[in-house]
Amino acid sequence: MAAPTLDTVLTGLAHGEATGSLRVGKDGTVYLTRGRVSYVECAATPGVEDLLGASDRITASGVRHARQEAGRSDGGALLVSKGVLSRGELEFCVLSATLDAAFFLLRPFLFQGRTARTRFREGDGHWLGVHWYFDVPGLLGECARRRARLERAWPSDELDTRAVTPLRRIPGTHALLTPLQWELLLAADSTATPVELARRLGHPAYSTLLAVRELAAAGLLATDRAAPDEQPDELPRRTPRPPAVPVADAVTDVNLLLRVRDALEAL
C-alpha cells in the first residue's frame, strides 16, 4: 500500500485537531496546535532566529540563552518581555519564517511527486511558543500561489539550486533594480545559491529566489540561455541600501500582514 501524500497527512491531522510536531524526513518539521499550523521549520531556509540575528536584534548566543531560559514555556513571550522585539514584530517574524519554510519544505512533495516519510510526535511544540495560526488548506493554497508567482517570473527551476552568477555586462544601457535585486547582485560571488545568499544576507529564501528569477528574466544572470562570457560594460555603480528590518508594531490583522508580506516580496 502506497504511503499517504503529505497533504493528506496534514489534512488528517487538521481534521483530528492534533497538537504536536510532524517530522518530514530530514527536511523539516511542521508544528500544529489543535489542527492548525503554528510554525514550520525547514533545514534549507532561515528561521526566526536567523532573521532576528541578521537584523542584529539578538545574537546567536542570546537565542541559545533565551531558549534555555524558556524551557518548555513561551520563548517568544520571553523575548518580548526582555524588549528584544515587540509583540507585533514577533508575530510578523513567525508569519514570514513559517510561510518561507512551508514553501520550501512542502514544494517537493506537493508539486514534484516526492513521497514523504513522516513521524508525528503528539504534544510536541516549538520553543518560541504559539504566536500565529495557519489553517492547512490556506497554507497549501499559499504554497501554490508562490509557486505560480515563481513560474511567472521565470518558468524553470534551473536557477533554484545553481550558484548565482551575474553577467559582466548588461543588455542595453540601463537596468532598473529593486533594493533586494541590487543587494543580491553585489553579494553574488558565483559560488552561493539563492538559498545560501538568503541565509548570508538575512532575507527570506522565497523573496530571494523570486528576485533571482526576476534578475534572470531581465537578462542579468548567467543561465542556460546566457553564459557569462557571451555578454557585453559593467553594471552601473550605485551605493547599496542596507536591508530593512521588518517592523510591525502590534500588528494582528492577517490581511494587513499578508499585504505587508507581498510588499516585502516585491523588494
Q: What is the pLDDT of residues 112-137, one digit of tens each?
A: 878 888 999 999 999 999 998 999 99
- At 173, is the pLDDT very low, low, confident or very high (cuts 50, 70, 90)? low
The DSSP secondary-structure symbol of 122 reads E
pLDDT score for 202: 87
pLDDT of 46 higher than 80: yes
pLDDT of 248 higher than 70: no
Chain centroid to Cα 230, Å, comes to 33
DSSP 3-state of 170: coil
Return the closest-CA partner of residue 29 out of 123, 108, 120: 120
What whole-number distance in Å separates Cα of residue 98 and Cα of residue 223? 30
Strands (E), 5-75: 20-24, 28-33, 36-42
pLDDT of 24 higher than 70: yes
The DSSP secondary-structure symbol of 223 reads B
pLDDT score for 209: 97
Mean pLDDT check: name the lowest of 109-113, 126-130, 197-201, 225-229: 225-229
- At 261, is the pLDDT very low, low, confident or very high (cuts 50, 70, 90)? low
What whole-number distance in Å separates Cα of residue 191 and Cα of residue 171? 23
- Asked if residues 51 and 206 have their Cβ atoms less than 8 Å apart, the reply is no
Percent of the chain with pLDDT over 70: 82
pTM: 0.80
pLDDT score for 240: 41
- At 260, is the pLDDT very low, low, confident or very high (cuts 50, 70, 90)? low
What is the mean pLDDT of the segment spanning 30-59?
A: 89
- Asked if residues 172 and 70 have their Cβ atoms less than 8 Å apart, the reply is no
Write down the H helix ranges in 36-153: 48-54, 60-70, 75-81, 87-111, 136-153
pLDDT score for 30: 97
pLDDT score for 63: 80
DSSP 3-state of 266: coil
- Asked if residues 41 and 29 have their Cβ atoms less than 8 Å apart, the reply is yes
Average pLDDT, the chain: 83
Give 32's strand partners. 20, 37
